[in-house]
C-alpha cells in the first residue's frame, strides 16, 4: 500500500509498504479521508514531536474510513462498518487514569499513519476510542473528531462563564474550532489572526469581532480598550509561539484564566512577571490533548451541524499530492485538506 513516512525536518516520503494485518484486539480500516492538521504541520517543520512520534515513522493522525479486517477477540464491529478512530487511548489503570485525568495518562497509546491507504488501529483505541460514523456524515467531517475533542477539552478547562469576554489568539483550524466551542459556552469571543479569509470563518463560527494582527501595533492595549480598560476574562493561545504565550498573559485582566494551548518547540521558555502573576491572581493553564468523553462530544457536535465545520476543509486531494499540500499549509493558503487515498 501507499503510505507517508516522516524521516525528519520537512522530509516526508510516500513509500510502498505492506498492508497492515490486525493482531488480537486490533482492526484495520481502509482510509476514506485523512485530514491535515496544524500539529502535523509543526511536526513536519520541526522533524518530530515530544509526545506522539519520533522519525522515521508513519505520519498523520486524523482519519475516518471503513473496517476491512478484524483481529481475534474484537466484538461489536463488522467488516464494512464506517468508523472514526481517535489517535490515542488512555490505559485506564495508571495513577492519572485512576484520577480520571486521562490526557495525562503515563501509558497513553498514540497511533500515527493516517496518510496511507490502510491504517491499523491498536487494541486500546479499539476498546476506548473507536466510534461509528452516523449516516450522512462524511469521512472528512468525521476525521476532524480528534482535533475538535482536544479543543472541547481545552474549552472546558478554560473557566469560561456565560458572558465572559474571551480573546482567542490564532486563526488556524484549532483557533477557529476554539471560537465555536467558546461561543457554545456563552462567551463573547474576540479573534486575532493573520488571514482575512480565516478571520471571516471565525465570525461565521460566532466571534463577536475579528482582528488582523498584521494591522495592530499593540494587541494587549487594544484588548484593554475592548474590555473597558480591564483586559480579557479568558485568553486562549493557539499558535505555539513563546512570544504569543507572553502576549496572551499581557491581554488578561486580574483574576483571568490564560489557556496556553498551542504546543511550543521543545526546550523553549517564557518570562512571566511574578508580581503580575501573584497580585493579579492569574491562572495559567497548559492544556494537552483530550479524553474519551470529549472524543464522543466532538463527534456529536460535528454530527449536529450546529457549526459549519465544513468551512475548515479547504480542499480534497489525492494522497500522491501530500507534499504539495504541506507546502500550501506552510504558506497558509489552506486550512485543512482532506487527503483521499
pLDDT along the chain (341 residues), means of 10: 92 94 98 94 78 82 97 97 97 97 94 96 97 97 98 98 98 97 98 98 98 97 98 97 98 98 92 97 96 98 97 97 94 96 88
Q: Which residues, 6+ apart, have CB-to-CB distance to 259 below 8 Å?
A: 154, 157, 158, 234, 235, 236, 237, 285, 287
Taking only the tens place, the pLDDT of each residue in 116-167 is 999 999 999 999 999 999 999 999 999 999 999 999 999 999 999 999 999 9
Q: How far is CA 317 from the centre of its chain?
A: 20
303, 148 Cβ separation under 8 angstroms? no
Q: Which three cell numbers stand for residue 43?
A: 511536526
Helix (H, G, I), strand (E, B) or coil at 9: coil
For residue 104, how many other CB atoms are within 10 A of its CB? 15
295, 149 Cβ separation under 8 angstroms? yes
Helix (H, G, I), strand (E, B) or coil at 91: coil
CA distance linking residue 155 with residue 158, whole number of Å: 5
At residue 222, the pLDDT reads 98
DSSP per-residue codes, 259-313: EE-SPPPTT------HHHHHHTT-EEEE--S--HHHHHHHHHHHHHTSS-GGGGE
Where are the domain boundaries for CATH 3.90.180.10 in the chain?
Answer: 2-148+290-340
318, 310 Cβ separation under 8 angstroms? no
CA distance linking residue 238 with residue 258, whole number of Å: 11
- Residue 76 has what DSSP assignment? S
Residue of 59, 64, 63 lying closest to 323 (CA atoms): 59
Where are the domain boundaries for CATH 3.40.50.720 in the chain?
Answer: 158-286
Q: Could you please state the CATH topology (level 3) that the domain comprising 158-286 is classified under.
A: Rossmann fold (3.40.50)
Q: What is the dihedral of CA 272, 278, 283, 289, to 10 degrees?
A: 40
CA distance linking residue 280 with residue 288, whole number of Å: 25
Q: Is the pTM of this model over 0.85?
A: yes
Q: Which residues, 6+ apart, have CB-to-CB distance to 105 below 8 Å?
A: 90, 91, 94, 96, 97
189, 182 Cβ separation under 8 angstroms? yes
Q: Which residues, 6+ apart, have CB-to-CB distance to 229 below 8 Å?
A: none
Q: Could you please state the CATH topology (level 3) that the domain comprising 2-148+290-340 is classified under.
A: Quinone Oxidoreductase; Chain A, domain 1 (3.90.180)
Angle between helices 173-184 and 196-204 (to 10 degrees): 20
Amino acid at each position: 500500500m501507499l503510505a507517508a513516512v516522516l524521516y525528519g525536518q520537512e522530509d516526508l516520503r510516500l513509500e510502498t509498504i505492506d498492508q497492515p494485518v490486525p493482531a488480537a484486539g486490533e482492526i484495520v480500516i481502509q482510509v476514506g479521508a485523512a485530514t491535515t492538521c496544524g500539529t502535523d504541520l509543526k511536526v513536519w517543520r520541526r522533524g518530530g514531536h515530544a509526545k506522539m512520534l519520533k522519525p522515521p515513522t508513519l505520519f498523520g493522525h486524523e482519519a475516518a474510513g471503513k473496517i476491512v479486517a478484524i483481529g481475534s477477540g474484537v466484538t461489536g464491529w463488522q467488516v464494512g462498518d464506517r468508523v472514526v478512530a481517535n489517535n490515542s487511548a488512555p490505559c485506564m489503570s495508571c495513577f492519572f487514569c485512576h484520577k480520571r485525568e486521562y490526557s495525562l495518562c503515563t501509558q497513553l497509546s498514540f497511533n500515527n499513519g493516517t496518510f496511507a491507504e490502510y491504517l491499523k488501529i491498536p487494541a486500546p483505541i479499539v476498546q476506548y476510542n473507536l466510534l461509528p460514523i452516523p449516516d450522512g456524515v462524511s469521512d472528512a467531517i468525521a476525521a476532524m473528531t480528534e482535533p475538535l475533542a482536544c479543543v472541547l477539552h481545552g474549552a472546558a478547562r478554560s473557566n469560561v462563564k456565560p458572558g465572559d469576554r474571551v480573546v482567542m489568539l490564532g486563526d488556524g483550524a484549532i483557533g477557529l474550532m476554539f471560537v465555536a466551542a467558546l461561543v457554545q459556552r456563552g462567551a463573547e469571543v474576540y479573534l486575532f489572526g493573520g488571514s482575512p479569509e480565516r478571520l471571516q470563518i471565525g465570525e461565521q463560527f460566532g466571534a463577536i469581532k475579528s482582528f488582523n494582527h498584521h494591522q495592530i501595533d499593540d494587541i494587549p492595549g487594544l484588548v484593554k480598550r475592548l474590555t473597558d480598560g480591564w483586559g480579557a476574562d479568558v485568553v486562549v493561545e493557539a499558535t505555539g509561539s513563546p512570544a504569543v504565550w507572553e502576549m496572551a498573559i499581557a491581554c488578561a485582566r486580574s483574576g483571568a484564566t490564560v489557556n496556553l494551548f498551542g504546543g511550543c518547540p521543545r526546550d523553549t521558555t517564557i518570562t512571566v512577571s511574578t508580581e503580575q502573576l501573584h497580585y493579579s491572581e492569574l491562572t495559567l493553564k497548559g492544556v494537552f490533548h483530550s479524553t474519551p468523553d470529549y472524543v464522543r462530544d466532538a463527534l456529536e457536535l460535528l454530527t449536529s451541524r450546529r457549526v459549519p465545520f465544513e468551512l475548515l476543509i479547504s480542499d480534497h486531494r489525492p494522497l500522491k499530492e501530500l507534499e504539495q499540500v504541506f507546502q500550501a499549509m506552510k504558506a497558509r493558503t489552506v486550512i485543512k485538506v482532506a487527503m483521499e487515498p
